Chains A and B, each alone.
Chain A
Amino acid sequence: MSEFRAQVEGERAYLLRYATLQLRDSAAAEDAVQETLLAALAGEAGFAGRSNLRTWLTGILKHKIVDAIRRMSREPTLPEEDFDALFDEKGHWIEMPQAWTDPDASLEQKEFFSVLEDCLGKLPAKTSQAFMLREHMGFETGDICKELAITPTHCWVLLHRARLALRMCLEMNWFGKT
């Protein structure tokens, strides 16, 4: 390992604390720091002893944090209005859910599960956390509320929203395809 590389690595813990404080999401913080370290190693010439290494790295990290926040806020969401958009003013389905042909046969197919994962990935973070706690881990709603610090009503809305979004996503990307 070059000396520069070792010095940059030495700042990792500091940068991670910094990023975690800003992002409040350890995975996103890890990513931002990783990107920063890679950018720093690729741009060693840009540093060239200009300033304090930590100051220089923090400057790069700030850009990565802003990028991450932008990505997070761009997360596709299904706000209340979209939820309403599935029904007309009388509360009828605008597009009635059609029956799926032999859905359980899909449970034997690996491709189905990768489509399902993609669909889960499109849910807003909290919606998908609530849904996975409920349906994958089998938590009771009351425990999910505690984990996510939300009210039971909010929890039911999130779960219902997740189901509406997932069935639509599966219909578009799996069951609707011939």
Chain B
Amino acid sequence: MMLSCKEASRLVSQGLDRNLGFGQRVALRVHLAICDGCTNFKDQVEFLRRAVKQLESKQS
């Protein structure tokens, strides 16, 4: 199964919120191996998670 970037980015996001199925994980890994845009997207949403966790502690 070849994923489009739209589908891949959706799976990247869902992967942060639930366990993806085996087929989804494989398809996503194949896509990320050849797609810089989605790889950047993945890095950035993981960064967002780190940043938002620190939100309050940085304010005080």
Q: Which residues of A contact B (CB under 8 A)?
A: 84, 86-87, 90-93, 96-100, 103-104, 106-107, 110, 112-113, 116-117, 131-132, 134-136, 138, 141, 155-156, 159-160, 163-164, 166-167, 170
Residues of B in contact with A, size category: 20 to 34
* B10 interface contact, C-beta 8 A: yes
Question: Residues on B close to A: CB < 8 A?
Answer: 4-7, 9-10, 13-14, 16-18, 36-38, 40-41, 43-45, 47-56, 58-59
Expressed in whole angstroms, the minimum distance between the Cβ of B27 and any Cβ of chain A is: 13
Nearest-neighbor residue (CB-CB) of A156 within chain B? B14
How many A-B pairs fall under 8 Å by CB? 93
A91 to B5, Cβ gap below 8 A?
Answer: yes
Q: Is the interface of B mostly helix, strand, loop or mixed?
A: helix
Contact yes or no, A136 B55, CB < 8 A:
yes
